[in-house]
Chain A
Amino acid sequence: MPTKILTVDDSRTIRLIVTRAFREYDCVICEGSNGEEGLAVAAKEKPDLIILDVTMPVMDGVTMLTKLKEDPELKATPVIMLTAESGQDNILQIARIGVRDYLVKPFKEDRLIEKVSRIVPLVKKAPAVSTP
């Protein structure tokens, strides 16, 4: 069963980077462009892990995370928070609301893989076999 990851970020660029990071792994990537969409996709897809941006329009990451924690079916879903801010206050706030880990932008793809692999299993895709 592929690992299902939900990426929620208002930047299509970041969602593409996250999707690309897992291209060698047996993963299914779902997307949301804000917290409201993210909650809807999470309820439908029941991801194994959520990678969640903090600052987004419509509904921000902190609000989405709070609502996730209120949902009995989703509250146990591990969350990695993505933030552009490395300041102490921001990191403390993120830690207080109960995320499994966080990643500060800018980030390298292998750093994201490293953090995700500590939380959910990541299995590399079998290499394609060419037939003569």
Chain B
Amino acid sequence: MQTINTIDIQEVVTAHLLQLLDTMFSIKAVPLGKSVPEAEPERVSGSVGFGGEAVAGVVYIHLSARFAALLAAGMLGTDPQSLSEAEVNDVVGELANILSGGLKSWLCDASFSCAASTPVVIRGSSFAIESSPGVERLCLEFSSGVNRFWVEVHFKFQ
């Protein structure tokens, strides 16, 4: 079983996110490196957990509510104002699902078998995600035009 470190996870998550946004949303994003998510007036966060004998964790994607609505509108071919919160949440949940699927695939190919949860979407303001002791936390910032967003991975190798 090979050793995996934070840099490996950063590379995998970054590459998969950029491909996902380009393929399904036709947008280009730029990785800005490690950075803790900033507070937003309203944030939408999608998350998917993964767990197995040797590894466990959670993948989050944090978007401003405004950017989430723009992404959803672009994907669904409609006007952002016409979308309900539920419709936007569904798009963010699927984003998290596909993003974590890429990480999970890479972990499984590296002999760290794990199963994934179904997506959870949190919407609100002034909330932060904290990890338990012994769990590593990787926060990555990205930009697309004027929009900034974050991917956060909490993980622990058992």
Contact = CB atoms under 8 A, between A and B. Distances in A.
Contact of A87 (B91, B98, B106, B118): B106
Nearest to B100: A84
B81 interface: no
Given A11-B94, A14-B94, A87 B76 contact: no
A20 B77 contact: yes
Interface stretch (B16-24, B34-42, B135-143, B150-158): B16-24
Pick the most buried of B87, B91, B97: most chain A CB atoms within 10 A of its CB. B97
B10 interface: no
A90 B87 contact: no
Interface stretch (B1-9, B62-70, B108-116, B122-130): B108-116
Contact of A106 (B91, B98, B105, B109): B98
Interface residues of B, number: 27
B100 A88 contact: no
Interface residues of A, number: 23
A83 B100 CA distance: 12
A106 B23 contact: yes
A124 interface: no
Interface of A: 10-14, 16-17, 20, 55-57, 83-90, 105-108
Interface of B: 19-20, 23-24, 72, 75-77, 87, 90-91, 93-94, 97-98, 100-102, 104-109, 113, 116, 118
